[in-house]
Amino acid sequence: MTKESICGRVLVIAAGVAVVFGALTVLSGGRALFGGAEAQAAVGNAVGFVLWFNFLAGFAYIVAGIGLYLRHLVALWLSIAILVSTVLVGVFFGIHVLQGGAYELRTVGAMILRAAVWGVISIVAWRNLGKAAQC
């Protein structure tokens, strides 16, 4: 197996993760935002700006995933932008919590998971599409 084929597989895996993660994010966020009373009750003390950010970011996840699959350099920058914006929203969420705002504990885990996933995807994109490309 050549280095090029390994890099290609890594990008395809990262792209697949991004697209699936994005689709699941859009579906769950859409259900929470636009679902009926039962769906709204299921989210509990969801923080509005976090919920909206995650829902809208889900579309960016899908675009980034398609870009990674097609090996477009813009997918690298979009992945980094998703990571940075997720971390910033996480910081604002932390401020909200520290000020005594209502929240769900699962939101903490979800934000950490999102940042970790996009951290890994950004590294994969950097290594395979950026100036530091090893392929």
* pLDDT by residue, tens only, the chain of 135 residues: 666 667 789 999 999 999 999 999 999 999 999 988 888 888 889 999 999 999 999 999 999 999 999 999 999 999 999 999 999 999 999 999 999 999 999 999 999 999 999 999 999 999 999 765 666
Euclidean distance between the first and final Cα of the chain, in Å?
Answer: 13
At 3 the pLDDT is 61
Residue 2 has a pLDDT of 65
68's CB contacts (< 8 A; 6+ apart) are 11, 14, 15, 18, 75, 79, 121, 124, 125, 129
- The pTM for the full model equals 0.91
pLDDT confidence of residue 33: 93
- CA-nearest of 60, 49, 30 to 121 is 60
